Amino acid sequence: MTAVWGVPVLTPPTARYDGHPSGRMGNVEMTLPGSLTVDATGRRFVNEALNYHDLNRAFGAIGSSAFLVFDRAYLDRYPVAGATSPQPWMIQADSLGELARAAGIGPALVATVEEFNAGARRGEDPVFGRGRSPQDRHLGDPAITPNPCLAPVERPPFFAVPVHAGVLGTAGGLATDADGRVVDHDGLPIPGLYAAGNCAATLFRDTYPGGGATLGSAVVRAYRAGRHLARHPGELARSVDGQVASGG
């Protein structure tokens, strides 16, 4: 019941949902060339172009939020949490050292960006391999070569925006058999109760194989549940409530 589909989020004050503070998915901003993400010490801790679920899991390794760091060239080219110009919620400074002090980031930020820039100019990330795989490049900028996920961060002013671990939704909880029948603690089907989609325990076991994977598994499991019901019409009659659980 504790499994979730996670995503890094940016939380500008303009992000609200039903009147409450919310966030915006930040994995695209982390992937695009001209940005990097660092922990509170100022060091990178992950390949920023990973899929959003694995990106989110990396926050567990640092035990805190992180910072998306970018320059004016990046902001001129790409929106950040929907903004295309400097905003009051963006921490801004004319140098990386000043940015680190203003944001409360450790002094390692300056050396981290210098190392990152040296590789980015060659289209390489020797530390984490960002942009090396086709999966990484999917959300990159194809206009940037030789690596659509890498560009140096070097044109002032510089910006930092907090990035937090976030939740897209549940990854399940109800265990089912191959036909979508919910099973009890002994592994026995509960008559008449079915589950498919994200309200059922994920078959991927906290991994994200690719875009559409949760939809594909939901469609297959729902088909199996429907087929089982069609072949066993007395299944619902034997249940007390005769309910079918489903989730997107």
pTM for the full model? 0.86
- What residues contact residue 192 under an 8 Å CB cut-off, 6+ apart? 235, 236, 237, 238, 239, 240, 241, 242, 243
At residue 12's C-alpha, the angle toward residues 31 and 94, to 5°, is 70
Q: pLDDT for 24-51, tens place per residue?
A: 999 999 999 999 999 999 999 999 999 9
**Alpha-carbon distance 151 to 25, whole Å?**
21
Instruction: Tell me how crowded residue 63 is: count the other CB atoms within 10 A of its CB.
Output: 8
CA gap 200, 224 in Å, rounded: 14
CA 231 – CA 225 distance, rounded (Å)? 10
Signed CA dihedral, 146, 150, 153, 158: sign only: positive
Residues comprising the chain, all counted: 248
What does the pLDDT read at residue 12? Answer: 94
Cβ-contact 95, 156 below 8 angstroms: yes
Report whether the peptide linkage leading into residue 146 is cis, meaning its omega lies within 30 degrees of zero. Answer: yes
pLDDT tens digits along 186-219 = 999 998 899 998 888 887 877 888 878 888 889 9
Low-confidence ranges of the chain (pLDDT < 50): 239-242, 246-248
Token match 């450790």: residue? 106
Query: Pairing relation of β-strands 24-25 and 158-170?
Result: unpaired
Cβ neighbours for 99, distance < 8 A, ≥ 6 positions apart: 69, 91, 92, 93, 105, 109, 158, 159, 160
Q: Please list, in sequence order, all residues whose beta carbon lies within 8 angstroms of the beta carbon of residue 229, skipping any fewer than 6 positions away.
A: 194, 235, 236
- Structural domains of the chain, with CATH: 4-167 (3.90.700.10), 171-246 (no CATH)
| Closest by CA position to 23, among listed 54, 56, 50 | 56
**What's the pLDDT score for residue 1?**
63
Residue pointed to by tokens 């009147």: 19
107 close to 100: Cβ distance less than 8 angstroms: yes
Q: Which two tokens stand for residue 171?
A: 């990854």
